[in-house]
């Protein structure tokens, strides 16, 4: 049975800048969107909120779903990556709670698109998708009869 990793990522935008997280992998500082794996007891949106808070210290809820990427990493690991948009009014201060994150940076789209230190090509692709104005309602990926929320029976 094929079992890809399920991950979430957030394109966080404010005042013409995008939030990236920087982490050191194999001695190299790499940029990514706030992102991570879906946990067993959470919806995709809850996972996006949690990862955003863990990696940046920002509490926000995605406003839109952008795209689902089916991707195979260079090490041949398969992924399903759910990408969300978060629009903020201001460039928020950040405080990562995840020890794997070295720092957060607010950068331009051009800086991301030209960066040589992206964790994967999906980081730049996410910015391109954002600029194509791909926005879908969160209900497109809604949880059905979810047992971990009040009222589910």
Mean pLDDT of the chain: 94
Among the ranges given (28-37, 98-107, 109-118, 132-141), the one the predictor scored with the smallest mean pLDDT: 132-141
What pLDDT is recorded for position 147? 78
| Domain boundaries defined on the chain | 5-141
Going by their DSSP bridges, the two strands 35-37 and 17-25 should be labelled as unpaired
What confidence score (pLDDT) does residue 74 get? 87
pLDDT band with cut points at 50, 70 and 90 for residue 152? very low
Q: Helices in 8-153 by DSSP H: which ranges?
A: 44-56, 109-114, 121-131
CB-count exposure of residue 147 (10 Å: 0-12, 13-18, 19+): exposed
Read off the tokens for 9: 């990522």
Q: What CATH code would you report for 5-141?
A: 3.90.79.10
Burial per residue of 72-101, b for 16 or more beta-carbon CB atoms within 10 angstroms, e otherwise? eeeeeeebebbbbbbeeeeebebebeeeeb
């Amino acid at each position: 049975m094929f079992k890809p990793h399920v991950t979430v990522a957030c394109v966080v935008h404010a005042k013409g800048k995008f939030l990236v997280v920087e982490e050191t992998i194999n001695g190299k500082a790499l940029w990514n969107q706030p992102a991570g794996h879906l946990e067993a007891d959470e919806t995709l949106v809850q996972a996006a909120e949690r990862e955003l808070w863990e990696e940046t210290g920002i509490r926000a809820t995605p406003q839109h779903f952008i795209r689902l990427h089916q991707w195979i990493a260079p090490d041949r690991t398969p992924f399903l990556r759910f990408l969300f948009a978060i629009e903020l009014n201001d460039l928020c201060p950040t405080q990562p709670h995840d020890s794997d994150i070295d720092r957060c940076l607010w950068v331009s789209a051009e800086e991301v698109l030209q960066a040589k230190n992206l964790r994967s090509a999906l980081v730049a692709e996410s910015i391109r998708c954002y600029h194509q104005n791909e926005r879908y309602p969160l209900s497109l990926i809604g949880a059905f009869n979810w047992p971990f929320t009040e009222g589910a029976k």
